[in-house]
Amino acid sequence: MAEWEWEAATVDQLLDVQIYAADGEPLGKVDDLEFTTPSDGGAPVLTAILCGPSAFGPRLGGLVGLTVWAIGRRLSPTGSDPVRVPMTQVDRVNRREIRLRESARPLGTHRFADWTREHIVCQIPGGSR
Amino acid sequence: MKRIFAVALGLVTAIGGFVDIGNLVTSGVTGARFSMSLTWAIVVGTIGMTVYAEMAGRVAAVAGRPVFHVVRERLGVRFGLFNLLACCLLNLLTLAAEIGGIGMALELVSDVSYLLWVPLIALALWGALWRLPFKVIENLFGVIGLSLLVFIVALFWLPVDWGSLTSSALHPSVPPTEAYTTYFFYAVSLIGACLVPYQIIFFSSGGVEEGWTRSSMFQMRLNTIVGFPLGGVLSIAIMATSAVVLQPLGTDVGHLSQVGLPVALALGKVGLAFAIVGFFAATFAAGAEATLSTGYAVSQYFGWAWGKWLRPSSAPQFHVICLITMILGTMLVLTTIDPITITLVAVVLGAAAIPLTFLPVLVIANDRDYLGDQVNGRFANVMGVVFLAVTVVVSVVTLPLLFWTRGGA
């Protein structure tokens, strides 16, 4: 499980925190959080971090949020499900950043960067350096 | 020795980086219309820029956090996005103004309309961003931009009545031919020309790019506390040459050539050549910085990899944002909107947007989790709060003034 280097007083302190890959590459921000209520009816537990337009849009709310969500739903291979990083894939959490484990890479956090690199940047002369 | 050179170079680029199309146009226009009676606005704007940049620079150096990182963390996702959109729009206007400025400088040399130069300029700017290292862009044009110092030389060469010039600066009054609203509109434009959002974003992100740490604080403070005020002095000198030469003639400034006219009168062709080279370098550097700032702001808001020190393939979204910005900015100039008008609108709206990014920086600068022992002292906080109050007043009056005076007509 993730190592917590600080005590978050409220959950919203975790929102909008910067996420880094294991090698230090910036991946995005915490757009939303997933909580699960245990089957024994206890207090909800933080189970995953959600990223991407389908998590970001609903947080904006209103027509703008709906538009962002709809665009994300059409462009994403997983439909309206946001990129979900289970807490088991999180290495460390502190007030300023969240660092993922090496094994988090296939989860889809790199998808947008990979797409722009392949389809735009590498097509421009000098872009594939 | 090497260290002294590096420090001096940083200082020089801070002076060169301070002056862009906004300062050239607003100083030229106000000097010709109001003589020196708006000097106070440049002073207010420059002090504000110093206070803000020192705080943002400290947050960048100690916490490694550039401005838009802080904006989303402190203001949340919605207000942060509003902030981001406002900033991108302003950067776009600024970029269009700078491209127009480069075009006007080339038009002065070549007699070919600036519009024909625009596509070439855009290509050159984007090529520079795509291939040249960050240091080269910042230092090369910052140093060449110093040829604007020719305005100070020209001022001493001209037959100046120093007594009336300083008394006009020290006892500001609205000229009888001008309305109060116009006077304050141009005051806001001068404040906005000194206090530009893209420069702050560029300054703090550039600090992170260059790997500032606590030990870079001396250089950072020197640049903000000495470099920026010297840039302000240069703006005042441009205003003064315009006041001395253009005001008695009753000329309105509608082109960069009129801003350079006093230098040509005082120093002839050589002087004018220096002025044009200065115009070109200052606006070219500013165009590059405004584009990069947009890439920085968007990438920092969404948490993507950003920076010129990364190869394009390592920060793909950042480079795509810069490219889109460049295309949109070029299209905006090609609509043939007068570049001087775009400049004025960009600087007054920029002045109105300052509190949006300053507030989160002020909050983080007081957060010990981020800055440790380098949090704001009492002096920085007093200055910060006074400055925040001034900029809030400016934001409130800007739009009414813009419409009331029809853009300072």
Q: Domain range holding A23?
A: 3-123
- Tokens coding A73: 């739903």
Based on the structure, what is the number of domains in chain B? 1
Between CA B80 and CA B71 the distance in angstroms is 6
Q: Å from A90 to nearest chain B CA?
A: 17
Q: Is the pTM higher than 0.90?
A: yes
CATH number at residue B43: 1.20.1740.10
Place A129 in a pLDDT band, splitting at 50, 70 and 90.
Answer: low
Can you tell me the mean pLDDT for A18-36?
A: 90
Among the partner-chain residues B69, B77, B302, the one whose CB lies closest to the CB of A28 is B302
pLDDT tens digits, one per residue of B97-110: 999 999 999 999 99
Strands (E), B174-237: none
* Of B351, B182, B188, B332, the residue nearest B252 (C-alpha): B182
Give the pLDDT confidence score for residue B309 in this predicted structure: 83
pLDDT band with cut points at 50, 70 and 90 for residue A23: confident
Determine whether the interchain pair B303/A19 forms a contact, defined as Cβ–Cβ distance below 8 Å: yes
Query: Does the structure show a pLDDT above 90 at A24?
Result: no
Identity of the residue in B65, B77, B131 whose CB atom sits nearest the CB atom of A126: B131
Q: How far apart are the first and last CA of chain A?
A: 37
Q: How far is A92 from chain B (nearest CA, A)?
A: 17
Domain contains A113: yes
How many other CB atoms are there within 10 angstroms of residue B116's CB atom?
12
The closest of B246, B249, B237, B226 to B39, measured between CA atoms, is B237
- Cross-strand bridge partners of residue A83: A51
Section A107-113 average pLDDT: 85
Provide mean pLDDT across the span B119-129. 94
**Residue B136 lies inside a defined structural domain of this protein:** yes
Per the structure, how many domains does chain A have? 1
Beta bridge partners of A29: A18
Count of pairs with CB atoms under 8 A, one residue in A, one in B: 71
What residues does A45 pair with on adjacent strands? A36
Alpha-carbon gap, residue A50 to A59, rounded angstroms? 11
Cα–Cα distance for residue pair B283/B107, rounded to 1 Å: 14
**Under an 8 A CB cutoff, do A96 and B302 touch?**
no
Q: Is residue A128 part of a domain?
A: no
- The answer to whether B12 touches B143, Cβ cutoff 8 Å, is yes
Considering only alpha carbons, which residue of chain B is nearest residue A96? B370
* Chain Cα centroid distance, residue A83: 6
**Tens of pLDDT along B197-237?**
899 999 999 888 888 888 888 888 998 999 999 999 999 99
As a whole number, the mean pLDDT across chain B is: 91
Per-state percent for chain A, helix, strand, coil, to nearest 5 = 35, 25, 40
Establish if A52 belongs to a structural domain. yes
The verdict on residue A78 lying in a domain is yes
| Cβ pair A129:B304 closer than 8 A | no
Percent of chain B residues topping a pLDDT of 70: 100
pLDDT in tens, B57-74: 999 999 888 999 888 988
A97-100 vs A18-20, strand pairing mode: parallel
Mean pLDDT (whole number) for A61-65: 91
CB contact under 8 A, A28 and B72: no
Q: Is residue A29 part of a domain?
A: yes
Domain with A68 in it: what CATH number? 2.30.30.240
| CB-based contact A117 B313, cutoff 8 Å | yes
Residue at B374 is within a domain: yes
Query: Residue A72: its pLDDT value, please?
Result: 87
Residue A18 bridge partners (DSSP): A29, A97
Is the pLDDT higher at B135 or at B269?
B269
Please tell me which of the candidates A64, A96, A129 has its beta carbon nearest to residue B311.
Answer: A129
What was the pLDDT predicted at B15?
A: 85
Q: Which residue of A has its CA nearest to B322?
A: A121
- Check pLDDT > 80 for residue A128: no
Across the interface, whether the CB atoms of B320 and A129 are under 8 A apart is answered no
* Mean pLDDT of the B306-324 span: 90
Q: Do B369 and A96 touch (CB under 8 A)?
A: yes
- Cβ of A29 and B303 within 8 Å? yes
Cα–Cα distance between A50 and A36 in angstroms, integer? 13
Interface of B with A (CB under 8 A): 63, 65, 69, 72-73, 76-78, 80-81, 130-131, 302-306, 311-313, 316-317, 319-320, 323, 369-370
Q: Do B81 and A60 touch (CB under 8 A)?
A: yes
**CA A36 and chain centroid, separation:** 17
A56/B77 CB distance under 8 A: yes
Contacts of A120 in chain B (CB under 8 A): 316, 320, 323
Min mean pLDDT across A74-83, B27-36, B319-328, B337-346 is at A74-83
Contact indicator for B320, A121 with CB cutoff of 8 Å: yes
Chain A nearest-CA distance from B322, in A, is 12
3-state secondary structure of B408: coil
pLDDT-derived band at B177, boundaries 50, 70, 90 = confident
What is the DSSP secondary-structure string of B198-252?
HHHHHHHHHHHHTT--GGGHHHHHHIIIIIHHHHHHHHHHHHHHHHHHHHHHTPP
Determine which of B126, B317, B364 to mutate to test the interface with A (most A C-beta atoms within 10 Å): B317
The set of residues, in sequence order, having a beta carbon less than 8 Å from that of B15 and lying 6+ positions away, is B142, B145, B146, B227, B228, B230, B231, B234
Q: Mind telling me how many Å the CA of A129 is from chain B's nearest CA?
A: 7
Give the domain extent around B145.
2-404
Is there a domain that residue B88 lies in? Answer: yes
Is the four-CA dihedral B42, B43, B44, B45 of positive or negative sign?
positive
d(Cα A19, Cα B326) in Å, to the nearest integer? 29
* Cα(B305)–Cα(A113) distance, integer angstroms: 9
Our CA angle for B156, B283, B146, nearest 5°, is 40
Assigned domain for B138 exists:
yes
Say how far apart CA B371 and CA B364 lie, in whole Å: 8
Smallest Cα distance from A41 to chain B, Å:
31
In a domain, A70, yes or no: yes
pLDDT computed for residue B339 by the predictor: 92
Tell me, yes or no, whether B409 lies in a domain: no
